[in-house]
Structure 1
Amino acid sequence: MKTAHDLVMAAKARTQEVSLDDADEAIRDADVLIDVREADEFAAGHLPGAVHIARGLLEFKLSGDPDLSARDLKLVVYCKTGGRAALAACTLHDMGYLHVKSIAGGFDGWASAGKPVAKPSLPSFD
């Protein structure tokens, strides 16, 4: 029986993971930056320019959006620490996407490195 850790390690072996040092360039070159965390995680803060597509809905959202159907899109995915992003990257490869990268260390690594984080502003009730 495989554990979640086993599945993540197998996924990381199949995908291209970029370091935090190379993440800025990968994001600049990407057509779409996808945050695969849950909605509450995304709302608490995310990488600037990221779109939220939770890992559990990834296949359905991409299949249902004509703007995301081109298999030659350059996609960068991330999650909290890298595990879900690696699994998502494998799924994207299995769907036929040709250019998929995930960010090593995920959002936590990004934020810890002092890189910019977007946070939605809350309405003022003053």
Structure 2
Amino acid sequence: MKTSQQLIAEARAGIRETTVADLAAYLAQHPQPRLIDVREPAEFAQCHIAGAVNYPRGVLEMQLANHPAVAASGCAAEVALAQLAEAPLYLICRSGGRSALAAESLQRMGFTEVFSVAGGMQDWLAANFATQPLPQNQGE
């Protein structure tokens, strides 16, 4: 038997992680980011990064071909996925565990430039980076 933490540790060993500071720098340079928030919809509604698309980890693989960066092309799913894989893809969750597992899964699908954001939204908020909508305890 393995715990969820053991699975996450194994995933982290085989993926690429990035920091929230590196993500913020990427977002500053890319007005149409390829950022997927893999948290549940209720978590996403409370607070998320502008431009992020919400595909919960449980449906991520099935929703990828619908990503706004490729959905408008009207291409078949395989072509849309290939187009999405042409540029870096960032994944974020609450603390970095779900995004690590999601990154591992996307690598198995053939994505080579997929990054899990270490520390997730917890680190993003701790660094005081902008979110939409503002968390309840901020902006008062």
The TM-score normalised by the length of structure 1 is 0.86
Post-superposition offset of 1:19: 1.5
Post-superposition offset of 1:25: 2.5
Q: Distance in 2 between matches of 1:117 and 1:83?
A: 20
Q: Mind listing any 5+ residue stretches in structure 1 that lack a counterpart?
A: 121-126
- Alignment-mate amino acid for residue 105 of structure 2: T
Secondary structure of the corresponding residue to residue 69 of structure 1: helix
Whether the 8 Å CA contact 2:34–2:90 is kept in 1: the answer is yes
Residue of structure 1 in register with 2:2 after alignment? 2
Q: Mind listing any 5+ residue stretches in structure 2 that lack a counterpart?
A: 72-79, 135-140
Whether the 8 Å CA contact 2:33–2:51 is kept in 1: the answer is no
Q: Distance in 1 between matches of 2:116 and 2:101?
A: 10
Residue of structure 1 in register with 2:116 after alignment? 102
Q: 1:75 aligns with which of 67, 71, 89?
A: 89
The TM-score normalised by the length of structure 2 is 0.78
Q: Distance in 2 between matches of 1:97 and 1:49?
A: 21
Whether the 8 Å CA contact 1:31–1:74 is kept in 2: the answer is no
Residue of structure 2 in register with 1:35 after alignment? 37
Residue of structure 2 in register with 1:113 after alignment? 127
Whether the 8 Å CA contact 1:73–1:97 is kept in 2: the answer is no
Counting only pairs closer than 5 Å after superposition, residues 42-61 of structure 1 correspond to structure 2 as: 42-61=44-63
List, as ranges, runs of 4+ consecutive aligned residues in structure 1 with deviation greater than 2 Å: 25-31, 63-68
Deviations 1:53-111, CA, capped at 9 Å, x for gaps: 00000111125666341232320000000000000000110011111011111011101
Residue of structure 1 in register with 2:75 after alignment? none
Post-superposition offset of 1:33: 0.3
Q: Distance in 1 between matches of 2:58 and 2:49?
A: 20
Whether the 8 Å CA contact 2:33–2:52 is kept in 1: the answer is no
Residue of structure 2 in register with 1:15 after alignment? 15
Q: Distance in 2 between matches of 1:10 and 1:26?
A: 26
Whether the 8 Å CA contact 2:38–2:98 is kept in 1: the answer is yes
Task: Give the share of equivalent positions with the same residue, in percent.
Answer: 38
